Structure 1
């Protein structure tokens, strides 16, 4: 309710907060200046102070609204600082001048009427005196205006950042899926051309992977068990492609049904191992994949041999570049990624805190994959 009263643009809320501000200001002005007249009696002091507050109120309202609806939005917020300074000085001088004439005409007449005479003051002295109230209330109103502007801009920037993040993640996934499908469909084509008996099994596995990507990878998180099942399916596809010349070790420990992870965040490392390891090995090829969950931390490591000439290019490609960007956006400060070459070996090691961001799992009503 308070936030609605402060930020709503509906007429009733706008009127309510402005009325509340000016009533509060008149009450504050009445209390402060009544202390000067307590020698005439408490009731009389507050009546005199209230009347003077009402006399000066139009000046305060005019100066404040000129500041918050004219000078600040038209000049200050548009970085037109010279115009802002000049118009503020004009408004200050005008408010001080009007306050001086109100003092000498209305306030003086009121004091004479209630037998509390005060001498008329010179122009400069009267203007300096009038600046106290006008500058105080206008400065307070201007501060509120700027704080509201800063808060609203901050909220807008945060919304834009979230929208930008979502757009970038969507783009990265859109790049990743075709890249993955390109490789797997090439595998299928090779088996069909050669008349392999495994073609039917490959079609079913590709269908399984497509169902996973279409129905479970639409959000920011999926169950870790589903992601592991997808990795196993991918590895089985590659085993069918390479046959007996490929030895793959896949170790998975600590996976539970309550754990969630960003979809397809692990696949590019496995793809990279096959692309730069198994596909370029002329003899027996091997790949080691290990995934371990200990508490909130997931540790994922992929090791594959690479021929010496390919070492400089083993980290290239759409897959790994995209996954690094996604890690930065989805797990800022909550992950560690290391890649290294050791004696014609390429090692990718990733650590992620699975509980870093609490996001509902996408499509919870769909069947949950379980690790084989």
Structure 2
């Protein structure tokens, strides 16, 4: 149901309750007058209140209060209330003074006092209801905008990851083809499998963790082919159930950063150790790599890690922890995510 329909239903329920209250309050007229006067009394009172409420919500509020013309708003409200008092009090005086007659002691000032304060009370309730519904509608709008903004930012960040990754892999493939390496077809096959994942599966908000790890393993194997025996690379994963899901391409920046700014900068004795395990609903990922002593991993223009931080904040706010340790000859990244 749309918000407009909900508002209509709530306002309708409010006036049904108000009408029911007056029907109960004026039930003694059934004995002192007759049925038509009983319904006329309630109908006139509720009808006048509805008119005042309509003027307040649709004319006075947007025309005066919303524009901070408080004096004009108060004057308009008082004028409408006084008009109501004149009509309602004259009708009450006629009803109780002439129709009901001696069975009811009619008092004009008592009627005016009762109608004045009861009118202000019902107007206050209606205003509170109106402001509550507006606040609720605003919260729904803010929530929808926030969700749309989150999806837009995640899509933008994902779009940044893909070209960055492809640029590195194509460079690797280019180097192998220059050497006429027999490993090139295997690289193409693995890259094809990864492209299928990136083009189709990665568009989902969440993907099976098993697919994400398979994608990551293919990436590591491609890099292992490039480095050969010049680097010690290990990739260990624990048991992962088929029901666990994760945001796509979330772990790649940690591994990609280790290759690009660690192993690629070394000529010998380079190493990379990747460990990913699942403890209940908590994912632990640890990536540790060697690096030259004079090279800092806090490089300029680090798209991958910057994107990772933003995506974690957007998708796992309050449910993640990323620790980066930049030592003299090693760089270690530890990521914990509550899936």
Q: CA deviation at 1:90?
A: 2.3
Tell me whether 1:27 sits opposite 2:20 in the alignment: yes
Larger deviation: 312-321 or 244-253? Answer: 312-321
Provide the C-alpha distance between the structure 1 equivalents of 2:240 and 2:248, rounded to a whole number of angstroms.
15
Partner of 1:269: helix, strand, or coil?
A: helix
The corresponding residue for 2:79 is 93
Tell me whether 1:8 sits opposite 2:5 in the alignment: yes
The corresponding residue for 2:284 is 299
Q: Residue 64 of structure 2 contacts residue 72 of structure 2 at CA under 8 Å; is this kept in 1?
A: no
Larger deviation: 272-281 or 220-229? Answer: 220-229
Q: CA deviation at 1:181?
A: 0.2
Partner of 1:310: helix, strand, or coil?
A: coil
Runs of 5+ consecutive residues of structure 1 not aligned to the other structure: 355-372
Q: Give the count of matched residue pairs.
A: 336
Runs of 5+ consecutive residues of structure 2 not aligned to the other structure: none
The corresponding residue for 2:32 is 44
With CA pairs under 8 Å and 6+ residues apart, which has the higher RCO, 1 or 2? 1
Q: Residue 223 of structure 1 contacts residue 259 of structure 1 at CA under 8 Å; is this kept in 2?
A: yes
Provide the C-alpha distance between the structure 1 equivalents of 2:93 and 2:111, rounded to a whole number of angstroms.
12
Q: Report the RMSD for the aligned CA atoms in angstroms.
A: 2.7
Which residues in structure 2 correspond to 1:22-171 (within 5 Å)?
22-32=15-25, 43-44=31-32, 51-76=40-65, 78=66, 80-83=67-70, 85-103=71-89, 105-111=90-96, 112-116=98-102, 118=105, 121=108, 128-171=113-156
Q: Residue 18 of structure 2 contacts residue 46 of structure 2 at CA under 8 Å; is this kept in 1?
A: no
Change (3 A) 1:127 1:91: farther
Provide the C-alpha distance between the structure 1 equivalents of 2:246 and 2:15, rounded to a whole number of angstroms.
53
Residue by residue, what CA displacement relative to the aligned partner does 1:129-182 show, whole Å, maximum 9, x if unpaired?
A: 432222122222222222221112211211111111111111000000000000
Partner of 2:273: helix, strand, or coil?
A: strand
TM-score, scaled relative to structure 1: 0.81
Change (3 A) 1:227 1:46: farther
